[in-house]
Each structure stands twice: as C-alpha cells, then as structure tokens.
C-alpha cells in the first residue's frame, strides 16, 4: 500500500513546499534528497557496477554535482527523484522517481539503487509509488523509462510495471551516445492495470 504521509499544499509543479513531501510504502520512505544522503549517494556513484547504467562511475566531486542537480530539480520544477530510505534501517538505499530535465524524451520515472538493495523488490515497490504520485500529483499523462539496451534487470522491471518497449530513443548531451530504448505507458493504461490488481 502506498500513502502520501505529508504534503503541504497541492502538488502542482513549483506550487508545493517540496521539502515536506514524504511517501511511505510497506518497506520504504521516499522523500526529496537531503544533505545527509550525500555520502551514500557518492558511494553508490563510486560503485562501478551500481552506477553502470545511471551515468557510470563518478568521483565524489562529480557525484556532488549530480546530487545538487537532483535537489535543484526539486527546487525549480517541484519534483525530482526521491531518496529511497529503507524503513527497517533508516539507510539511504537509492534514488528513484520522476525526472524530466531539459531535452529529456518524456516524463520519466527512473531508478538507481545501491547494490545492497538489489533483489529485494525495492525498485518495483518504489517505482509503483512514484508512478502513482506522478500521475496523481504532477498531472502526467504518460510515463517513460529510458533503459540501456544491456540493462536486462531494468527491462524486466519495466515489464513488471506494465510498460512496453516503444523503440530507440536519445538522451540529451552529455548522454547522447548511449544506446537506449524508451519504455512506457499512458496514464489510462496504468490506472486500468492498478484497478485490476
């Protein structure tokens, strides 16, 4: 079960006190990034395997810029990827959620978890909550996932979410050389699937 625990005001882009958004699922807390998340974020981006499909290895200084980009998306757009907090430990275990920087091929819900969180179903649990939130509070009519063609785990997750491969896509610079496919579904498809489950 997903519930929005705290939100001040209506979540229309940039018309929300975004620091107070907090979504709880059975095992996770999703909230905007906070400074205390950075050490775990940087460690995740320094892990070549964990970072392979989310921009690749980054030294701490580069990870800091990426971290601030996410916080800036929240401040400017009123949304961005959530920090994923494991309820049982209080530990940061990844980032996932809505994402649409300039030039992006659509309204994305993406994910990138620390290896310690792999295989636990957290990406599915968090992505479902994030898609629900994006459709309900951001008013999106479509959701995509830009997935590297070699990323079989994310392709499997997209299928479990009910998304389908829409074909090749391109990301903006500096990611324009990545070979990705765009997976996605409409709001109507998502809501119909959610009512059936």
Give the tens place of pLDDT for each residue, 165-186: 999 999 999 888 889 999 999 9
Question: Tokens in use for 83?
Answer: 């920090």
Average pLDDT over residues 14-24: 74
| The pLDDT of residue 138 is above 80 | yes
Among 7-16, 35-44, 125-134, 144-153, which stretch is predicted with the lowest mean pLDDT?
7-16
Q: How confident is the model at residue 151 (pLDDT cuts 50, 70, 90)?
A: very high
11 pLDDT higher than 50: no
Contacts of 89 by beta carbon, 8 Å cutoff, 6+ apart: none
CB 31 within 8 A of CB 84: no
- Give the domain extent around 11: 3-196
pLDDT of residue 2: 52
CA 37/CA 47 separation, integer angstroms: 16
| H or E element that contains 146 | strand 142-148
Rounded CA separation 50/98 (Å): 20
How many residues appear in the chain? 197
Domain count, the chain: 1
CATH number of the domain bearing residue 180: 3.40.630.30
d(CA 159, CA 30): 22
99-123 tens-digit pLDDT: 999 999 999 999 999 999 999 999 9
Q: Can you read off the two tokens belonging to residue 21?
A: 């958004």
**Pure H helices in 2-47:** 38-46
């Amino acid at each position: 079960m997903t519930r929005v625990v705290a939100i001040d005001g209506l979540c229309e882009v940039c018309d929300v006190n975004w620091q107070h958004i907090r979504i709880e699922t059975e095992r996770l807390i999703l909230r905007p990034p906070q400074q205390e998340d950075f050490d775990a974020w940087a460690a995740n981006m320094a892990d070549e395997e964990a970072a392979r499909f989310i921009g690749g290895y980054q030294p701490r200084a580069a990870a800091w810029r990426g971290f601030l980009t996410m916080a800036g998306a929240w401040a400017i757009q009123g949304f961005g990827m959530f920090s994923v907090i494991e309820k049982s430990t209080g530990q940061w275990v990844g980032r996932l959620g809505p994402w649409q920087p300039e030039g992006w091929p659509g309204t994305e819900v993406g994910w990138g978890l620390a290896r310690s969180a792999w295989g636990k179903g957290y990406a599915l649990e968090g992505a479902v909550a994030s898609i629900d939130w994006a459709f309900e509070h951001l008013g999106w009519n479509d959701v995509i996932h830009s997935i590297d063609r070699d990323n079989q785990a994310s392709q499997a997750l997209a299928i479990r979410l009910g998304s389908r491969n829409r074909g090749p896509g391109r990301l903006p610079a500096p990611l324009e050389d990545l070979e990705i496919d765009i997976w996605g579904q409409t709001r109507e498809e998502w809501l119909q699937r959610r009512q059936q489950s």
